[in-house]
Structure 1
């Protein structure tokens, strides 16, 4: 007989998980940075998942892996040991896109640097799940416990539900960020075009030259001083506006 997660999870815990995700959505709505969103994710997971004494978020980018959010500085050192060695449970979860759950003692042979750093920090059990977003894997959500028997398959299933919902929110956030950057770039381009057109008009009126020659003079000034064309135009406009 199959038992659903709803049947196994206390109603209060489901309510708390729902509230945590609503808070995360609220952070997104407030136009916070992605780092703020991931910090909120770490704190929410620590509160919702019973065995999670501490939580960190690993992000893997072009420059490698880094810990961008954590509920306690001591777990940052555990993550750093994995990044230094180039392997460990959080990196494996990111690479394989599958959760990794283990007692630290069982990882001594496979990941000695990770195991040593974990034991030094008093961590005895570890659970990492990938954060899958649009276009690939952002990184992983990592849970730590001082109890060696922590994190059973049920915790893993709950974490996967949590990361799936969170990843959907993060994907939406990244789309919004891309749109906001695009709009800002378009606004700057329109402003630059306006300033360049005004600067051409100033040169045409001052020297009795045509539009093409005025533009060529701006380009030559830009190349001579290794300055962007919009900056040359703005400087010229500023000079004629001075008393």
Structure 2
């Protein structure tokens, strides 16, 4: 008798929806983990994660990521074109599950009936998208509010397995944090590259002024900085314009006069757009 009960329990566990859901989540985690070693294109990484979520979460037909940039919501990743339409309906109405999740930092799961009552303007604008129920989870990096991860269903009650969704969202949130750091690192690299390019332009300009006017390094930079301050023109832009002007001038006798003239007038061409 005991053996029969054990066999029955084993068969029940094998058929358990929650067990199958956890297995599905484990597969998603396995797929996502492989991304950590090769994060390069952040948007592509987020898109792949959203695709995996749609495959894993029961009822999910599409997914997307909303971020808050300069106080405004922006959709950066979608798995289906209709997601942008749903998000646009929320942004235009200034209400909806993803905006609520991002603002309150709490998950928002709504059926079609709840959405129609809680967000009437959004629901009216959303009528033609085909999406009927929603699960939005806030995404934060440290104390910084970042946005929301959004799942969409064409069913009126698309997200009955909330536990599975929560597990998946937790995994994605941690990966989003990594992706955000990768994105920040790329911006720092781009900024450093721009700074180095700017330094090269300034050094070239300073070198020409030194040689032609027969002055020291400090004197050349002081002269350029004086023109920058007098004309309210950034040093980098002023130097770039000076180099462009001199490259277009025939070099020969009177070079000192030419450099002096360019120094005194380059700011006008910067203001005029070159």
1:173 is aligned to 2:182 = no
1:182 aligns with 2:193: no
Partners of 1:113 and 1:58 lie apart in 2 by 19
CA distance in structure 2 between the aligned counterparts of 1:201 and 1:146, rounded to whole angstroms: 66
Distance in 1 separating the partners of 2:151 and 2:177: 22
Note if 1:13 corresponds to 2:24.
yes
Matches within 5 A, 1:140-151: 140-151=148-159
Q: Decide which structure has the larger Cα Rg and report it.
A: 2
Say if 2:129 is the partner of 1:121: yes
TM-score, structure 1 as length reference: 0.78
Superposed CA offset, 1:159-194 (max 9, x none): 222222222222223323333433443454345445
SS at match of 1:120: coil
Residue 58 (1) aligns with residue 66 (2):
yes
Where in structure 1 are there 5+ consecutive unaligned residues? Answer: 1-5
Unpaired runs of 5+ residues, structure 2, are: 1-15, 252-274
Does the CA-based 8 Å contact 2:25-2:167 persist in structure 1? no
Note the 1:1-243 alignment, pairs <5 A: 8-10=18-20, 12-25=23-36, 29-33=38-42, 35-152=43-160, 155-190=161-196, 192-193=198-199, 195-222=201-228, 228-233=234-239, 239=246
Cα separation, 2, equivalents of 1:205 and 1:25: 52
Which range moved further: 173-182 or 66-75?
173-182
Residues 185-219 of structure 1: CA deviation (Å, up to 9, x unaligned): 34543454455345434333332323333223323
CA spacing shift, 1:236–1:57, aligned 2, 3 Å = closer
After superposition, what is the alpha-carbon deviation per residue over 1:41-89, rounded to whole angstroms, capped at 9, x for unaligned? Answer: 3212111112101222222222411222222222322222222221122
Q: TM-score, normalised by structure 2?
A: 0.70
Aligned length: 234
Describe the superposition over 1:90-141 as per-residue Cα deviations: whole angstroms up to 9, x where unpaired: 2111122222112112332221123234443333322222122223332112
Q: CA RMSD in A?
A: 3.2
CA contact (8 A) 1:104 1:118 kept: no
Q: Give the CA deviation at 1:32.
A: 0.3
CA contact (8 A) 1:132 1:164 kept: no
Distance 1:85 1:204 in 2: 60
Structure 1 residues 162 and 137: CA distance shift in structure 2, 3 A: farther
